[in-house]
Amino acid sequence: MGKPEISAKLVKELREKTNVGMMDCKAALQETEGDIEKAALLLRKKGLSGAKQRQQRTANQGVIDSYLHIGQQIGSLVEINCETDFVARNDEFLELAHQIALHVVACNPQYMDRESVPVDIVESEKVIYRSQCESGGKPEKVWDRIIDGKLDKFYQDTCLMEQPFVKDPSVTVNELLAEASSRVGEKLLVRRFLRFQVGEDTGENCE
């Protein structure tokens, strides 16, 4: 039995209620068969909700960390912010910053999140997916659902916040950040990242 279909409207409603990312909201709604209250509770249990008030606060402290891969051919810089200098010196926070810098090197995200993807890139992907549906002989009535699914996969592949964390693919980078935020009791965010590879013309600075 496949996952139940969840409307974009319901996902948006849960996101506004919890301030959790769209993919995490959709997954929670699928797991709870569209029950928004149960989904919100599930997100709280995962440490992803209850962060709504934290997200409204200002995070202007933090660190810039780096990671160099073996052989020093690939490296990254990541700025991660928190609310207080106390947390910025916390070992768990420092380790989180280093792990995300490692992830950037390993998984090469192109964008911070789906909201950061340029509209022309999204539209170009949709054109490709629609062409694939047409050439594959799929019924036109299911094209939109197929295209939405392919876009979700595109975001998971290219957006840092939606990528499965390289050292534990059962959680996304966004979930990793949210869980750490819940533990330290402060708003945490990745402000920007930069990835370098020897021989490339430029690094990729995403914020």
**Residue 128 domain-assigned (yes or no):** yes
Tokens of 98: 């280093």
124 and 26 in a common domain:
no
41 and 135 in a common domain:
no
pLDDT of residue 57: 60
In single-letter form, the type of residue at position 107 comes to C
**Residue 109 domain-assigned (yes or no):** yes
132 and 102 in a common domain:
no
pTM, rounded to two decimals: 0.70
State pLDDT tens for residues 184-205.
888 899 999 999 998 876 555 5
**Residue 181 domain-assigned (yes or no):** yes
Query: What's the rounded mean pLDDT across residues 82-104?
Result: 93
Whole-number average pLDDT of the chain: 85
32 and 19 in a common domain:
yes
Give the chain's domain count: 3
* Residue, of 161 and 17, whose pLDDT is higher: 161
132 and 103 in a common domain:
no
Spatial separation of the C-alpha atoms in residues 88 and 141, rounded to whole Å: 51
102 and 200 in a common domain:
yes
- CA dihedral (123, 124, 128, 131) positive or negative: positive
pLDDT of residue 48: 58
106 and 68 in a common domain:
yes
pLDDT of residue 50: 53
Query: What's the rounded mean pLDDT across residues 101-106?
Result: 96
pLDDT of 80 > 90? The answer is yes
Query: What's the rounded mean pLDDT across residues 132-159?
Result: 89
| Residue 106 Cα distances to 47, 120, 128, angstroms | 25, 27, 27
174 and 185 in a common domain:
yes
- Which residues make beta-bridge pairs with 76? 67, 195
- 195 dihedral zone (left: phi>0; alpha: psi -120 to 50; beta): beta
pLDDT confidence band for 26 (50 / 70 / 90): confident
Name the DSSP letter for residue 3: P
Asked whether the beta carbons of 132 and 78 are under 8 A apart, the reply is no
40 and 12 in a common domain:
yes
pLDDT of residue 97: 96
CATH of the domain at 62: 3.30.479.20
pLDDT of residue 72: 87
63 and 25 in a common domain:
no
- Which residues make beta-bridge pairs with 164? 172
pLDDT of residue 1: 46
Domain that holds residue 30: 8-50
CATH of the domain at 25: 1.10.8.10
pLDDT of residue 150: 92
pLDDT confidence band for 2 (50 / 70 / 90): low
**Residue 127 domain-assigned (yes or no):** yes
107 and 45 in a common domain:
no
75 and 33 in a common domain:
no
pLDDT of residue 134: 84
**Window from 10-24, 25-39, 121-135 with minimum mean pLDDT:** 10-24
Buried b or exposed e, range 76-102, using 16+ CB within 10 angstroms: bbbbbbbbeeebbebeebeebbbbbbb
**Residue 25 domain-assigned (yes or no):** yes
pLDDT of residue 52: 52
What is the percent of the chain where pLDDT is above 90?
A: 47
pLDDT of residue 17: 74
What residue spans of the chain are helical by DSSP H? 8-18, 22-31, 36-45, 52-55, 85-88, 91-107, 119-135, 143-158, 173-184
Spatial separation of the C-alpha atoms in residues 11 and 124, rounded to whole Å: 24
**Residue 139 domain-assigned (yes or no):** yes
